[in-house]
Structure 1
Amino acid sequence: MTVLTLGACGLRVETPPPAEPSPDAVEQVRGRTVADSLDLAAAAEAAAALPDGAVPSVATVLADVVAYAEQHAEQLGGEYVSGLPSPTGTPSASTPATRSVAEVLDRLGSATRTALTDADAVADGPLARLVASVATSRGELAVRLAQATGAEVPALVPDQVATADPSPTPGSTESPAGDALTAAEVAALALVHDEAGFGFEVVAAKLAGDQRTAALTAAAAHRARSEEWAAAAGIDGTAQDPRRASYSVPGGLDDPVVATALGRTLETSVADACANAVAQAGAGSRAALIDGLRRATVDAAAWGATPVPFPGLPERAQQPTG
């Protein structure tokens, strides 16, 4: 019998090169959000060099698009690198040249819709919270850029959300798999809305004219949402209901500056609570919570809040870089 020893003959078996790992669904969402952020930063930077991007009011927003998008990409972990060499002859992806500020606005709208869809669908709760915040920030930037240019605000909500009830009830946060918020988590939302309702009633008593009307409207809206969340948790009127008859408020509210600052604080607290609930809720059950984050962020801005890169995420960078 003849035995062929490959090693002795100097022969070796060729092993195939390592394969590029396929990203899972969570990594796809993270990578897509990073890619859109980098695309927005590049597009806004290019648009700033164009005549219509050099207008001071427009340039200010474009600078925030660049700064915020870069922070979004960084906080999401940056571009995925497998560590494997790129195949030779593989063309590298490039962002199409930006020809106008209007293109940046369109890209903001598209990226916002994508992130909103991903925030509701992704299985990872903390990533959903971060992506929801990014989507909210992009929406704010789109509105600001549209206002600066006099253009129409692009669609910011995916079609499947836009055609749904614009004011979904808290009970709709339960997913088909039954992965809903716990009663305690829903109670926390009832509490933060109730405190906001009380606070805005106090603010309304200290202000006059349109500001008083706005505060009364906000108070009624928060009281109504608090009732909805309490009913959804099954705690309305029970010993487990955390809501109180009154809440502490800062002194000096006779000064309109202090009163409006309280309005900002109340809405920001609601945004933070909704963002936290996004992380706690199951995939496919977050639409009402994400809408709450977006709505509270818009309302905080109406009371003078400065735009930040990560609405609802106080632990992350909250100061503009401009």
Structure 2
Amino acid sequence: MDRPAAPAPARRPRTRARLRAAVALAAVLPLAACGLRLETPPPVEPSPDALEQVRARTVADALDLAADADALAAVVPEGPERTVLLDVAAFSARHAEAAGGVYDSGLPDPAPTASASTSTTTTPAGAPDAATLLAELVDDAAVAADDADTVTDGPLARLVASVATSRDELADRLSAATALPRPAAGAAADGAPDGSADEADQATPGVTPGATASASSSPGGEAPGTGTAALVALALAHDEAAYGYEVVAARVSDDARARAVEAAARHRADANRWAATAGVAGRAGDPRRAAYALPGGLDDPAVLDDLVRRLESGVADAYAAAVAAAAPGSRADLVAGLRQAHAAAAARGAASVPFPGVPELATETLG
């Protein structure tokens, strides 16, 4: 019997070669992966969207104003000018805080370049003069008013409109304290509304320069994108102010009476205009009343002045609320109305506050 042939052992070396190749590949792959991770670029700062640009601009302008006012207050003697400067610094610091402060992504700062390190050796500029700070206030107020009109977020629009109004008032106060003429908004506010300073400068006790603010409303009683409920509340606030001024006019005489009558007529016209814009004029939903509650002691001139201040402040609050409810690009008249109502309240002795028209932030007076 023939013996079976022995199996050929030729495949074993090939199997061992494959095993060695697999082990080598397993060792190389982690090293390659490590190399890929090392070549990944570091994270970069995210690009700010339009909303963040408005917020950051509001903060940056506020911090610049605060720094300039602080520097100028340090070299100005006690008096009306220094009082205003301290308010500019304090109010602006509050504005920056309310807008969220300086953005910090948490990412490490990039390594300084040679040119950057060289630039840090420059001598800082001295304190600006009052005229320069006044121009900054006017320009920054105009920029903020424009941002309030166009920003897409309603609550931020309300805050920025309040900041614009505060800066506008501070500019008026600094102009009066220094006897410097208030300049027009400059190149920094190119294309922005000027805060309606001319109308506000005409404000006198008992007179509300509010008719001009809403005179440019769209024909046909339309205000695209504006919240109806907010406009109804605005019409009601104007109507209550008109009634209050009519009561005041009946209790004063001469020039004071003429101013109160004029203010009542202006508020009545604004109430009619906003009620028509909201679509409630002459309808069952019109909330305006024949009479409104009044405080006691109306024979006291101090009570009358306090009544007018409260009425104008109520109109300012209603304008600010309407700014928040309005669509971007449709708020210019509302922002101007906020400014003018606050100016009228200030003309009757209302305290200067950091956030006009925003009562939840304006309760703390400074200065």
Q: Same fold (TM over 0.5)?
A: yes
Q: Which amino acid aligns with 2:52?
A: E
User: Which of 132, 136, 144 is equivalent to 2:165?
Assistant: 136
210-219 or 17-26, larger mean C-alpha shift = 210-219
Rounded Cα–Cα distance in structure 1 between residues aligned with 2:194 and 2:170:
20
Shift of 1:85: 1.0
Specify the SS of the correspondent of 1:251.
coil
User: Among the aligned pairs, what percent are the same residue?
Assistant: 52
| Counterpart in the other structure of 1:243 | 288
- Residues 306 and 162 (structure 1 numbering): CA distance in 2 closer, same or farther, change over 3 Å? closer
Assess if the C-alpha contact under 8 Å between 2:146 and 2:192 holds in 1. no
Shift of 1:10: 9.3
> Within the alignment, does 1:306 sit opposite 2:329 as a pair?
no
> Within the alignment, does 1:192 sit opposite 2:237 as a pair?
yes
- Give the alignment of 1:84-123 within 5 angstroms: 84-89=107-112, 91=116, 96-123=125-152
Assess if the C-alpha contact under 8 Å between 2:244 and 2:311 holds in 1. yes
| Counterpart in the other structure of 1:67 | 90
- Residues 10 and 302 (structure 1 numbering): CA distance in 2 closer, same or farther, change over 3 Å? closer
Please list the CA deviations of residues 87-125 of structure 1 after superposition, one character each: whole Å capped at 9, or x if unmatched.
121649998543312111111111111101100010000
- Residues 202 and 82 (structure 1 numbering): CA distance in 2 closer, same or farther, change over 3 Å? same
- Residues 77 and 11 (structure 1 numbering): CA distance in 2 closer, same or farther, change over 3 Å? closer
Assess if the C-alpha contact under 8 Å between 1:186 and 1:232 holds in 2. yes
Assess if the C-alpha contact under 8 Å between 2:249 and 2:261 holds in 1. yes
Rounded Cα–Cα distance in structure 1 between residues aligned with 2:158 and 2:321:
7
Rounded Cα–Cα distance in structure 2 between residues aligned with 1:75 and 1:11:
45
| Counterpart in the other structure of 1:36 | 61
Rounded Cα–Cα distance in structure 2 between residues aligned with 1:251 and 1:61:
35
Assess if the C-alpha contact under 8 Å between 1:119 and 1:131 holds in 2. yes
Shift of 1:191: 1.0
Q: Which amino acid aligns with 1:109?
A: V
Assess if the C-alpha contact under 8 Å between 1:203 and 1:212 holds in 2. yes
Assess if the C-alpha contact under 8 Å between 1:117 and 1:158 holds in 2. no
RMSD over equivalenced CA pairs, Å: 2.5
- Residues 154 and 212 (structure 1 numbering): CA distance in 2 closer, same or farther, change over 3 Å? same
Rounded Cα–Cα distance in structure 1 between residues aligned with 2:193 and 2:139:
14
**Pairs aligned (count):** 317
Please list the CA deviations of residues 151-207 of structure 1 after superposition, one character each: whole Å capped at 9, or x if unmatched.
1112258655469986434447967xx42322x332221111111000111011122
Unaligned runs of 5+ in 2: 1-20, 197-211
Rounded Cα–Cα distance in structure 2 between residues aligned with 1:260 and 1:254:
11
198-207 or 127-136, larger mean C-alpha shift = 198-207
Specify the SS of the correspondent of 1:315.
helix
Rounded Cα–Cα distance in structure 2 between residues aligned with 1:315 and 1:250:
23
Rounded Cα–Cα distance in structure 2 between residues aligned with 1:24 and 1:222:
39
Rounded Cα–Cα distance in structure 1 between residues aligned with 2:133 and 2:108:
33
Rounded Cα–Cα distance in structure 2 between residues aligned with 1:143 and 1:47:
17
User: Which of 183, 195, 218 is equivalent to 1:154?
Assistant: 183
Assess if the C-alpha contact under 8 Å between 2:142 and 2:195 holds in 1. no
Specify the SS of the correspondent of 1:17.
coil
- Give the TM-score of the pair, scaled to structure 1: 0.91
Assess if the C-alpha contact under 8 Å between 1:64 and 1:320 holds in 2. no
Rounded Cα–Cα distance in structure 1 between residues aligned with 2:195 and 2:294:
39
- Give the alignment of 1:1-322 within 5 angstroms: 3=25, 5-7=28-30, 11-13=34-36, 14=38, 15-50=40-75, 53-54=76-77, 56-89=79-112, 91=116, 96-155=125-184, 159=191, 161=193, 167-171=214-218, 178-182=224-228, 184-322=229-367
